[in-house]
Amino acid sequence: MCKLKFKPVGDRILVQHVEDKEQVRGGVIIPDSAKEKPQEAKVIALGTGTKSEDGTLHAFEVKVGDAVLIGKFAGSEVKIDNRKFTVVREDDILGVVT
């Protein structure tokens, strides 16, 4: 994978959605605009973390390369190097897929 020229800040995490393989049932093809956004994503980059009131830095519970589940309406979609990504906060991550 090539290096991205993007570094999230704070408790933000850059993820890329894992696309489901398209299945055609009964000859009906569902257009992209009608499909649900997948909830499974891969962690691409981590921000700097959050600081508590006393100045200590809290580490992320996920790491680059982890497969995670995120909320359906979580984050902001961005386009970097003609690829779609989503920037989410650590709180938007529901869990790590093992």
pLDDT tens sequence across 3-30: 778 889 989 999 998 876 655 666 676 6
Instruction: Give pLDDT tens digits for 44-89.
Output: 999 988 888 898 888 899 999 999 999 888 899 999 888 899 999 9
Q: CA gyration radius for the chain?
A: 16
Contacts of 92 (CB under 8 A, 6+ apart): 70, 71, 74, 75
Which stretches of the chain are assigned E, i.e. beta strand?
Answer: 12-17, 40-46, 50-51, 57-58, 67-70, 76-80, 83-89, 93-96
For residue 23, the model assigns a pLDDT of 58
Contact between 36 and 66 (Cβ < 8 Å): no
